[in-house]
Each structure stands twice: as structure tokens, then as C-alpha cells.
């Protein structure tokens, strides 16, 4: 087994990286695996604004409320992590953005008392 981190704190083996950020979406928990603490921190610091921007853009485009935080987070991860790609959930490991299919099957009723 190779070293986990380089002397500059970079993990080139995302399978064994210590930089893992767990996110829950409904019943599923996803592990976003990063090659460095810097990239993980960028993801954490940008995720709220990125979600807001993407959800607002989709809502405006289609004319009804769309909230898809998983979509927003995957897109943000792909734009930040430059040394590889690994997102894992309970069932699967995704090593490439092109291997992910989001079907968007969940609908809820908007709370009108807001």
C-alpha cells in the first residue's frame, strides 16, 4: 500500500483519503472524497450558495419550485476536485461524473403556510 498523503497533504488515492465529507439526502448518505483538506473546505464553504443558485436557476427555467441539493453538490464537487472523482453511497461508488444518473422522481407539496 502506498502512502496516504504526500508531504504537502495531498491524497492521490481517493479510496484511502482522510478527507471525506458525508452528506445526507433523504434516506441516502453520500461520501464525497477529496484529495486535500483545501478542496474539502472549498466544497463546504461554497455548498450553501451553490445550492441556492442552482435551485433558483432550475426553478426559474421550469416555472415551478425545484430543490435538488444532490445535483448541486455533485456539480460543485466535480468543479472543485481536480485530482480524481469518488462519490460513494451505501450501494455504489461513482468514479466518474458520466456514470451518475439522477432520475428526479420525488415530489412533495409546498408548505403554503410559509
For 37, the domain range is 14-99
| Number of structural domains the chain divides into | 1
**Model confidence at 1: pLDDT above 60:** no
- Whether residue 8 is contained in a domain is answered as no
* 113 falls within a domain: no
Instruction: Classify residue 96 as exposed, middle or buried by CB count within 10 Å of its CB (0-12, 13-18, 19+).
Output: exposed
What is this structure's pTM?
0.89
The enclosing domain of 38 has a CATH number of: 3.30.70.3560
What pLDDT is recorded for position 3? 66
Q: Encode pLDDT of 77-87 as tens digits.
A: 999 999 999 99
Q: Look at residue 78 and tell me if it is in a domain.
A: yes
Tens of pLDDT, residue by residue over 39-84, are: 999 999 999 999 999 999 999 999 999 999 999 999 999 999 999 9
For 40-97, the DSSP string reads HHHHHHHHHHHHHHHHHHHHHHHTS----HHHHHHHHHHHH--S---EE-SS-EE-SG
111 falls within a domain: no
Nearest to 67 by CA among 21, 110, 113: 110
Question: Looking at residues 8-31, what average pLDDT do you find?
Answer: 95
Amino acid at each position: 500500500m502506498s502512502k496516504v498523503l504526500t508531504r504537502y497533504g495531498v491524497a492521490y488515492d481517493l479510496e484511502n483519503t482522510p478527507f471525506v465529507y458525508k452528506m445526507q439526502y433523504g434516506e441516502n448518505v453520500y461520501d464525497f472524497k477529496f484529495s486535500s483538506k483545501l478542496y474539502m473546505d472549498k466544497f463546504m464553504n461554497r455548498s450553501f450558495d451553490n445550492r441556492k443558485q442552482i435551485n433558483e436557476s432550475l426553478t426559474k427555467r421550469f416555472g415551478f419550485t425545484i430543490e435538488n441539493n444532490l445535483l448541486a453538490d455533485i456539480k460543485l464537487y466535480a468543479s472543485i476536485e481536480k485530482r480524481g472523482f469518488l462519490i460513494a453511497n451505501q450501494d455504489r461508488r461513482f468514479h466518474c461524473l458520466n456514470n451518475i444518473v439522477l432520475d428526479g422522481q420525488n415530489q412533495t407539496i409546498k408548505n403554503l403556510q410559509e
